[in-house]
Structure 1
């Protein structure tokens, strides 16, 4: 068995792993043939698809300089065109600020409950919310919460929002003012809300342009290196091809449950790993022989009668992603152990739902259907997460393993978060290496 030894190595070639390699000069071992993690853009019969929606809406100047100036990613700034399909109508995103066009009784109830709740919250500013459902009702009123926010949340997360904490929120949910909610109920309000009201997206190659440019910068990546075992005590990683590598520090960006399975961790640690909750995403990519499908970026669907929670139109992100005269749709379907789905004939199901939702017609010719499964989609912030994560990270750090990224830190990260996390963990590894060198130097003098 061939053996190598390195000071620090990285498992996982997603954005965090690539960023750590870029900032630390380390080697990445990627289990798949292609780098990028969930930021890959497969091309099938001339159609390029992302694994769901990936847009860059960061305001972080370092990340923007890194991507555009240093790595040379050709990004185009765009104004978001996002809609919600509800009660047979398309309304602008976000729902809470744009009820105009919905049935009048629904608009009325949403507006009244928002105003009533606004008055309550004005006099109770120090409220704490035990779960996401409580926060939704307290923030937007019962009607908005029950008509859209709660059903969409349950469809997306696969668990009821009362089972989710509010730790992940940040700026993710737009918070319109009272005036904006009223204006959006009385007229078509074209104002952009939320952090991705404008975003950047690569002009060519899909979102994979970002990991590709990291790779071109000269970082060392070894593909098709699937880890099958980690010896924590001898600090060795064993790979499927029969090779192994020794390390002093291991940066792991692979999902925490998968990392735990690779080790001989004690039963209590293995149990904590199994308690981590997440959803999975099935992306149904469809190529369509229709040049003028629509001009939107994406549309949300909260109603149960539609299999998907969101669809997107990549041609409207970059025209280079579809063959001339054609269009494409990516439909995202969420599932988990608590909400399993029947994957058989899922493509046909999605096409039928798209026709029902008036996105497609029966006359539209389908060129291809390509299904991609993302086993680890989004981390579910349940009540056990913080304590589980604390125990797991403490255990792995005691064995010189630094967990990082969306699935290593087990958190809801955007792309800029993942890149910055890679930079951070590379610096941490350098610090550990420095301490180790000093200790070796002292021992050598004794």
Structure 2
């Protein structure tokens, strides 16, 4: 019997294992942590549950929705209601067609710039995200909103990013929509997802239950070496596994580090793969008096988090009775902030804006993720192809957000595993 090993028990690795089992192929999943889920997992503090970064399902894929429904028959359905903080004020999301809360001066500047946008531009000829933003929204809005947010979320300037990742993620309104949104708050929801789904109990991780059933997962099994000649895996504890087929959902740079020798071209390409790290700053509160929005974006650069969401609004099961919770996402380079600065420029800022009260805070918790978002700079496609082609040549199949090195949502990451060639 052939030995199939999967590296990582995140959503794509679990999807790969599930897909193989349905075809009568057994596999072993090696996971470095003590539980499954990866970035789709969660943790608990004093009766509060927090996901690892914000997660909802808004998939239109029939198979994904079937698996999620089997895993969690009781699902809470939310209509998206995101907001933004800009100069300390609340603005409906997306801001480009919801300017009502801005001053008359800024509204005028944005609308006049919007009118001056170049016409008949071939979008396919635009190679810089900054240029794309200026063409779509005009200079003033681009410079004060998405270009600022780019520095917080992507940790680089907009002109350092290409545009293939954008897709439908940023709404592109008409002039009429921009003007209408400057006159009234009563605007239609133009968020790209019309419904957000979340398990009633157990956090987002509950959606993975069916994938885990009958899965052979070895926890505390961090692979540190891959010998492709002997087709052997070695874990940090010294365990050895002989494989016939190897599937990896781990970040591409991590896989390269496990190999004994690399061609210089591949090593150089691996060094060009960039991503952000991230902090999760979780807050438990002894009140339900929090902003009513499932999540909100922050454009102010003096406030570190790019995004804040409420686990307790996603599901009451995520917090004890009478309590609520928030989690803030700070994207960063490795070792960029000390704990004191993180708290002062996140929780402290929300207190100063009277969004939180110091006396309502039960605890704060800070956790670090070394891999948060793939950065789509101008080198990504060539560098990624070089690395993945080389790993494929060695017989290592790569899946998932960090195995494909792609901007994949959770359902797309699951499909990356489910669609594995058998």
Q: Give a deviation string over 1:122-171, Cα, whole Å, max 9, x none.
A: x3346611210000000111111011110011111110010000011111
Shift of 1:344: 4.1
The answer to whether the aligner puts 1:407 opposite 2:402 as a matched pair is: yes
* Map of 1:101 onto structure 2: 101
Shift of 1:272: 1.7
**Partners in 1 of 2:340 and 2:207 — Cα distance?**
33
* Map of 1:370 onto structure 2: 365
The answer to whether the aligner puts 1:210 opposite 2:211 as a matched pair is: no
Residue in structure 1 matching 2:418, options 407, 420, 423 = 423
Q: Give a deviation string over 1:80-112, Cα, whole Å, max 9, x none.
A: 121011123201100111111111100111111
The answer to whether the aligner puts 1:221 opposite 2:222 as a matched pair is: no
Is there any run of 5+ residues in structure 1 with no aligned partner, and where?
431-446
CA 1:242/1:59 → structure 2, altered by over 3 Å: closer, same or farther?
same
CA 1:127/1:379 → structure 2, altered by over 3 Å: closer, same or farther?
closer
Is there any run of 5+ residues in structure 2 with no aligned partner, and where?
22-26
**Partners in 1 of 2:58 and 2:41 — Cα distance?**
18
Residue in structure 1 matching 2:147, options 150, 173, 182 = 150
Q: Give a deviation string over 1:204-234, Cα, whole Å, max 9, x none.
A: 111111234421x222211111111110111
CA contact (8 A) 2:69 2:207 kept: no
* Map of 1:439 onto structure 2: none
**Partners in 1 of 2:73 and 2:395 — Cα distance?**
34
**Partners in 2 of 1:194 and 1:81 — Cα distance?**
8
**Partners in 2 of 1:424 and 1:127 — Cα distance?**
29
* Map of 1:433 onto structure 2: none
CA contact (8 A) 1:282 1:374 kept: yes
Work out which of the two has the higher radius of gyration on C-alpha atoms and give 1 or 2: 1
Q: Secondary structure at the match of 2:165?
A: coil
Shift of 1:7: 3.0
Aligned residue pairs, count: 416
CA 1:348/1:213 → structure 2, altered by over 3 Å: closer, same or farther?
farther
CA contact (8 A) 1:248 1:400 kept: no
Shift of 1:346: 2.6
The answer to whether the aligner puts 1:380 opposite 2:380 as a matched pair is: no
* Map of 2:243 onto structure 1: 247
Q: Secondary structure at the match of 1:229?
A: strand
* Map of 2:24 onto structure 1: none
**Partners in 2 of 1:74 and 1:260 — Cα distance?**
41
CA contact (8 A) 1:379 1:412 kept: yes
Q: Secondary structure at the match of 2:111?
A: helix
* Map of 1:184 onto structure 2: 181
CA 1:291/1:124 → structure 2, altered by over 3 Å: closer, same or farther?
closer
The answer to whether the aligner puts 1:297 opposite 2:294 as a matched pair is: yes
C-alpha RMSD over aligned residues = 1.7
CA contact (8 A) 1:260 1:273 kept: yes
Question: Larger deviation: 344-353 or 376-385?
Answer: 344-353
TM-score by length of 2: 0.94
The answer to whether the aligner puts 1:234 opposite 2:235 as a matched pair is: no
**Partners in 2 of 1:369 and 1:354 — Cα distance?**
13
* Map of 1:335 onto structure 2: 332
**Partners in 2 of 1:126 and 1:400 — Cα distance?**
38
CA 1:92/1:393 → structure 2, altered by over 3 Å: closer, same or farther?
same
Q: Secondary structure at the match of 2:90?
A: strand
- Aligned residue runs from structure 1 range 115-134, under 5 A: 115-117=115-117, 120-121=118-119, 123-125=120-122, 128-134=125-131
**Partners in 1 of 2:64 and 2:194 — Cα distance?**
18
CA contact (8 A) 2:129 2:159 kept: yes
- Aligned residue runs from structure 1 range 4-403, under 5 A: 6-25=2-21, 26-69=27-70, 71-117=71-117, 120-121=118-119, 123-125=120-122, 128-215=125-212, 217-268=213-264, 269-336=266-333, 340-344=336-340, 346-362=342-358, 364-403=359-398
